[in-house]
Amino acid sequence: MATFQSNDALIHYQTFGDVTNPALVFSNSLGTNFGMWQKQFNHFKHDFFVICYDTRGHGSSSAPQGPYTLDQLGQDVVNLLDHLNIEKAAFCGISMGGLTGQWLAIHYPQRFNQVIVCNTAAKIGQEQAWLDRAVLVRTQGLSSIAATAASRWFTDPFIQSQTTLVETLSNDLAASSAEGYASCCEALAKADLRAQLQQITVPVLIIAGLQDPVTTVTDGQFMQAQISNSSLFEIDASHISNIEAPEAFNTVVKQFLS
């Protein structure tokens, strides 16, 4: 297990593949950890130097007292690249990680060859709803959020057919840091990149889930209309599309990166 200090947070990360290959960073969604990318790092480690990390407040990364900001989430990635002496990388983030990817493309275009943003939006949800969720989690813990997470993350057929996997992800969420989760909710409450998307010049692939109730295809279409050098791929999955439809996900990412 590798860690490094990024300002006030200790960030846990793991690398896969040959360090001489092009670098590819994966960024997790709210309430998960880097293990959510298993089907991706096993697939891409042959052609890329894959870097997975736990977003601050998640997994084995520390959870300093919040609220966090999107700037902090993005800066952690830049600090990770600096720590690994990587000048330029490709980036793939989902949901909250997709917002991080948009921020990186706006503020650090010189550090990224390509950016992939999946099941995300330039503004996710409503500010008050995120702030209410942060209060709920700090006072009652994560068990109630974890109990209903699967219905937001996956389609019913996937939940029925992959019960063990879905239970593992739900249990991981329930056992997570309430402070880390709440602090990321507060970052999402304030994050709004809609007015800045037109600044993006890095090539961007947007992946939108046809059955995603959280960040919709309409959200993906809005981002595509604002980002000049972007393409949109609609995937037949719900919110965590890389787990629900890994073959289609890996294929379109590989095509974009090559």
Q: What is the pLDDT of residues 183-212, one digit of tens each?
A: 999 999 999 999 999 999 999 999 999 999
pLDDT in tens, 25-80: 999 999 999 999 999 999 999 999 999 999 999 999 999 999 999 999 999 999 99
For residues 112 and 88, the answer to whether their CB atoms sit within 8 Å is yes
Q: How far apart are CA 182 and CA 138, in angstroms?
A: 7
Question: Is the omega angle on the peptide bond into residue 67 within 30 degrees of 0, that is, cis?
Answer: yes
Residue ranges per domain, the chain? Answer: 2-257
Structure tokens at 129: 């709803």
Single-letter code of the amino acid located at 59: G
pLDDT digit string (tens) for 216-238?
A: 999 999 999 999 999 999 999 99
Burial label, 195 (beta-carbon count in 10 A; 0-12, 13-18, 19+): exposed
Cα–Cα distance, 246 to 57 (Å, whole number): 26
Q: What is the C-alpha separation between 256 and 241, in angstroms, rounded?
A: 17
Query: Among the residues of 3-91, which ranges form H helices?
Result: 38-44, 70-83
pLDDT tens profile 93-142: 999 999 999 999 999 999 999 999 999 999 999 999 999 999 999 999 99
| CATH for 2-257, options being 3.40.50.1820, 3.20.20.100, 2.30.36.70, 3.40.190.10 | 3.40.50.1820
Exposed/middle/buried for residue 206 (C-beta within 10 Å: 0-12, 13-18, 19+): buried
Closest CA to 99 of 128, 130, 65, 143: 130
Which burial class, exposed, middle or buried, applies to 19 when counting CB atoms under 10 A from its CB (0-12, 13-18, 19+)? exposed
- C-alpha 165/C-alpha 150 separation (Å) is 10
Sheet of 49-53: strand order equals 2-6, 9-16, 49-53, 23-27, 89-94, 112-118, 204-209, 230-235
169: confidence class by pLDDT, cuts 50, 70, 90: very high
> How many Å separate Cα 228 from the centre of its chain?
22
Residues 108 and 77: their CA atoms lie apart, in Å, by: 10
* Structural contact between residues 257 and 90, judged by C-beta atoms closer than 8 angstroms: yes
Using DSSP's 3-state secondary structure scheme, residue 208 falls into: strand
Which percentage of the chain shows pLDDT scores above 90? 99
Tell me what pLDDT residue 1 has.
77
3-class DSSP assignment, residue 36 = helix
Instruction: Report the SS3 class of residue 18.
Output: coil
Which among 210, 203, 202 has a CA at the least distance from the CA of 248?
Answer: 210
CA-based nearest residue to 178, from 133, 211, 213, 220: 133
